[in-house]
Structure 1
Amino acid sequence: MGGSRRAYPTTEELRIWRDFIETAQALRTELAARLQKDSALSPGDYGTLLALSEADGRRLRPSALARTLGWERSRLSHQLGRMERRGLVRREECATDSRGAEVVLTDEGARAFRAAALPHLIAIRELFVAPLTPEQITAVGDALAALREGTGTRWDR
């Protein structure tokens, strides 16, 4: 180990880490509660609908959808089953590969996503954007980019 970096975090660094974890959890919890109240969608529903709404032809292979969401295939399978029963998505044979399937956003799913999007974006603005200055927003973005780089995580956004 080079330089004067300690092998473990300082008390102040641990306090900031804990603040980060607790704040992120509080934001996720409040956003999930508002999403459920405003649209009857879970965060999993919303993320799935968002990914499909942005996909070419409103359809994705399950493996691509799982990668996009950062989920295991078994979690996605359970999520899709719940969403299929509510008419938000359907599974179809893949047009280009008869061995595979695709997850397709239904018209009902598209309507549910559109109805949920505005209240969800307003909640994000209220809970995450409004409390911060533009400089703080930029600093948070920079910090998150550094953390992603440190973990080797990359998102195509």
Structure 2
Amino acid sequence: MKTASTSAEEPRWLTDEEQIVWRSYVHASMLLEDHMDRQLQRDAGMPHIYYGLLVKLAESPARRLRMTELAMHAKITRSRLSHAIARLEKSGWVRREDCASDKRGQFAVVTEEGLDVLRRAAPGHVTAVRNAVFDRLSGEQQKALGEIMQIIAEGLQPDEAGADLPWLR
């Protein structure tokens, strides 16, 4: 049981080795996201987040999801999603549909044009992912990376009850 005095104790600082690992992770993840963004902007005229939204919609039943569910999958606020969907609508890649069972709810639906742009963008995107990540790692390293990322994701998966989650804002 923690006492008042333990809350004032010194934090468990990272060791030098842990600091190297942490900074390498942050540096690589920032470079990777930038690399994916630049590739998709150049080849498909969209940022990485829009590509992810189109993929999620294309993989969903009837190629549509409620806006709140889409925000949850993208790990973004509803207002950021609304802005992204407005841009995708302007491009003709997505449309919104009202929810019959909930007058306040809306669905985002990927259009045929959106599917076409996704099909055209996918080969270049998978090549960029392969070049940036998988071609640089052995099979054993790929497996280890997958296991590590799964452990981290599971440990960070929020308990939605009372959590300050972006998609609930």
1:108 is aligned to: 113
1:75 is aligned to: 80
In structure 2, give the amino acid aligned to 1:69.
A
Shift of the alpha carbon at 1:120? 0.2
Question: Secondary structure of the residue that 1:130 maps to in structure 2?
Answer: helix
1:35 is aligned to: 40
Find 1:15's aligned residue among 6, 20, 23: 20
| More off after superposition, 122-131 vs 38-47 | 38-47
Question: Secondary structure of the residue that 1:93 maps to in structure 2?
Answer: strand
Find 1:150's aligned residue among 155, 162, 168: 155
Shift of the alpha carbon at 1:142? 1.4
Could you tell me how far apart the structure 2 residues matched to 1:137 and 1:72 are? 31
Shift of the alpha carbon at 1:100? 2.5
Could you tell me how far apart the structure 1 residues matched to 2:17 and 2:117 are? 44
2:162 is aligned to: none
Pairwise CA RMSD: 1.8
Shift of the alpha carbon at 1:39? 1.2
Could you tell me how far apart the structure 2 residues matched to 1:96 and 1:111 are? 30
Shift of the alpha carbon at 1:147? 1.3
Q: Percent identity?
A: 37
Structure 2 vs 1, CA of residues 99 and 75 (structure 1 numbering), >3 Å: closer, same or farther? closer
Find 1:45's aligned residue among 50, 57, 60: 50
Could you tell me how far apart the structure 2 residues matched to 1:97 and 1:24 are? 39
Unaligned runs of 5+ in 2: 1-5, 160-169
Using structure 2 for the length normalisation, give the TM-score.
Answer: 0.83
Shift of the alpha carbon at 1:95? 4.3
Unaligned runs of 5+ in 1: none
In structure 1, give the amino acid aligned to 2:75.
G
Shift of the alpha carbon at 1:144? 1.0
Question: Secondary structure of the residue that 1:90 maps to in structure 2?
Answer: strand
Could you tell me how far apart the structure 2 residues matched to 1:44 and 1:102 are? 18
Could you tell me how far apart the structure 2 residues matched to 1:117 and 1:72 are? 26
Contact 2:44 2:117 in 1 (8 A): yes
Deviations 1:86-123 (A, max 9, x none): 11111112244444221111111111111111110011
Could you tell me how far apart the structure 1 residues matched to 2:49 and 2:100 are? 26
Aligned residues: 150
